[in-house]
Every structure is written in C-alpha cells, then in structure tokens.
Amino acid sequence: MKFVDEVSIYVKAGDGGNGMMSFRREKFIEKGGPNGGDGGDGGSVYIVADENLNTLVDYRYTRRFNAQNGEKGGSTDCTGRKGDDLILPVPVGTTVIDSATQEVIGDLTKAGQRLLVAQGGWHGLGNTRFKSSTNRAPRQTTPGKPGDARDLKLELKVLADVGLLGLPNAGKSTFIRSVSAAKPKVADYPFTTLVPNLGVVSVDRYKSFVVADIPGLIEGASEGAGLGIRFLKHLARTRLLLHLVDMAPLDLSDPAEAAVTIVEELTKFSPALADRDRWLVLNKSDQILEEEHEARVAEVVARLEWEGPVYVISALAHEGTERLCQDIMNYLEVRAERAAENPEFAAELAELDQRIEDEARARLQALDDQRALRRAGVRSVDDVDEDDFDDEDDEDGPEIIYVRD
C-alpha cells in the first residue's frame, strides 16, 4: 500500500430540504386547511480517526465528497427525510486544516475521535408552520439552507514515542529491525527508506514503546533537498529523538561532520524540534577497531559540544541495543509520571509541542509556495541576483519578481 501523508479534499454538506405548500383535499370536506410539511435536514460531514488505517491513500484520487441532501416536505404534514451523514475515516494522528484560512480545525489523536467539518443545511418550513387565527390559508414556505462547503487539507503525523534522525545509511532501519518485529528494507545504498516505518519495541512483558524511522536527511534538507524534509513533521509528536551517527561510513566521510550536518538541518527546519530531548547514538561500532572507539566518540562529542547521553551500539550485531531500549523505557515512564504530578512541566511540554507544530507547518508551507512559484515560472525575490538587474534591458518583455511580505 502506498504511503500518503498529505492530501487536499473538498467536502460539501447536504442542503436542507424545502418546505412544502399543500392544502388538505378530501371528499365531502369543502375547506381543508394547510398541511404542507417541513423539509429534512441535510447530512453533515464528519472525519473519524480509525486505528485500522495508516495512510491517506484513499483520498489521493477521490477528492470531492458530498453528503446527502435532505428531502423536501410532503403533503399531509409529512416531514422530508433527513440526509445521511457522511463519515470519512482517517488514520489516527491526522490533522485537519482549512485550506482557505490555514486554521487547524482539529487534531485526531485518539481512535474513534470524531470531528464535524461541514454542518448540514437546516430544513425549510412548510406552510402549516404559518397558519394562525388570522391567516387560515397561508401560502408561505421557506427553502432549505445550503450545507457548508470547505476545502480541507489532511496531514498525517505518525504517533510514536521515539523518533530516529540521521544521514542515509546511518543504520536507522537496521536499528528498528534489531529491536522490534518491523522489517523495513535495508540495503547498502542511500535512501533505502522512502517512507516512515514504525516498530513496537517490547522491553518487558507489559512495557513497550513505538519507534519511528524516517528517510535520511542530507545537507540542504531544510531547503527541500532529499526526502527527509517531507517526513520531519512525523517527529513532531515524538517524546524523544535518537540521533544515529555512522561511526564507519563507507565513503570514508567524517562522522563528526555528519553529526553536525543533521543538527544544523534540524535547527533550520524547526528550532523548537531541535529543543526536543535528544540522545546521541553512535552506530556500527563493530566496524571499527576497539582502540579507535574512544577517539571517534570523543571527536563527535567535541564537534557537537554534546552534553547529553551518549550510546555506542551496533544494531546489526545487537550490541548495546538492549541497554539503550531499557533506558528509553525508563525515560518515558519518568517523563509521564512527572507530567502527571507537575502541571507546570506538563504545560511546558504542551507549549513545546505547539511550537513544533506551528514551525513545522510554516516551514512546509513556505517550501510548497516556492515549488508553486517555480512551476508557474515566477521567481522569488530571494532567487534574484544583481546580475539579473544589469541585463534586464536585454530581456524580451518584463520580468516578474515575487515578493513575500
């Protein structure tokens, strides 16, 4: 199944049914009164979180959804049938955004959570509603109200406790295969991972946590290079980040330089995400000599000016992974207990989560705008060089420069 984490759809609630104008007509009854019934309400559109889904691929090609209209009223005081509500199932972790205003309508983080995105139209009134002692034969009715219509953007962020960061071939997929039952693709070339992978790590009999692996980041990822920028948003909901560094890269590159690159790209994408608790994990220790371990570790720590936890592991050989998973489980439990007992700490976490959400959405929207400008042949003012102004007399026709406030 294809992994799709962003879609744009159009939803239209049902229109309310019109009221009926009718008069009683029966044999041997000379003057029948009004008996026109009301119309039915239009159906509403709801989005519901379904734990059995893990992608938005169902909305990739079918993008317009209409709820059922309410039926018009009938004679003999019959009310029109109400339109059926339209239920759109989405994976847990989906954020619903109004495309026109960029307002976040709701965030579906629990299975079964239900969100109203388009209200059905109100029913029209039949002429029976207008009869009175002075108006014995009313001929007034009201039409049904139109249902709400909206352009929506659905964004899926996977729900995981721990997120993995690193360059391509840092061993992230191998780590997940080592500590969980997940089997992501592993190969000796970059960008083996094309979509996020989730793995459930069981520490004890009744203790487990979820790890998310995203495609590797490269230099320039914050500007749209590579694949990882599209999936960095999936780390927004995590509680802990593991920064994996390849201690023995095949291209003989500097592990310390690779570690610095990831931190710089992460900070450019979202400074708040860079503030998330992060542990340094030096992988592939089995590929280097034991006497070189300390020197490699010291070099990476010094270049990063790292003061947090440092782990040296080999995911392939299962060396150091068990201790790392135990420490992660202990960290998550202590964090949860502290948040439950300390409201101020819980508020700080919530504030950080909101900052990450806002910064990630703003960054991705800016990249989408840049891509749209390039497709339209319009250049941003940031892409214009001084030489362009010197040669503008030689150009055929005016040049359009887009300026963002």
Among residues 113, 112, 39, the alpha carbon closest in space to that of 75 is found at 39
Numbered residues of the known binding site: 166-173, 191-195, 213-216, 283-286, 314-316
Q: How far apart are CA 399 and CA 404, in angstroms?
A: 16
Q: How far apart are CA 329 and CA 345, in angstroms?
A: 19
Numbered residues of the known binding site for GTP: 166-173, 191-195, 213-216, 283-286, 314-316
SS3 sequence of the chain: CCCCCEEEEEEECCCCCCCCCCECCCCCCCCCCECCCCCCCCCCEEEEEECCCCCCHHHCCCCEEECCCCCCCCCCCCCCCCCCCEEEEEECCEEEEECCCCCEEEEECCCCCEEEEECCCCCCCCHHHHCCCCCCCCCCCCCCCCCCEEEEEEEECCCCCEEEECCCCCCHHHHHHHHCCCCCCCCCCCCCCCCCEEEEEEEECCEEEEEEECCCCCCCHHHCCCCHHHHHHHHCCCCEEEEEEECCCCCCCCHHHHHHHHHHHHHHHCHHHHCCCEEEEEECHHHCCHHHHHHHHHHHHHHHCCCCCEEECECCCCECHHHHHHHHHHHHHHHHHHHHHCHHHHHHHHHHHHHHHHHHHHHHHHHHHHHHHHHHCCEEHHHCCHHHHHCHHHCCCCCCEECCC
Q: How far apart are CA 191 and CA 188, in angstroms?
A: 10
Q: How far apart are CA 240 and CA 335, in angstroms?
A: 10
Numbered residues of the known binding site for Mg(2+): 173, 193
The residues, any chain, with a CB within 8 Å of residue 160's CB and separated by 6 or more, are: 198, 210, 211, 212, 234, 237, 238
> How many CA atoms are closer than 13 Å to the CA of 78, on its beta-carbon side?
10
> How many CA atoms are closer than 13 Å to the CA of 282, on its beta-carbon side?
25
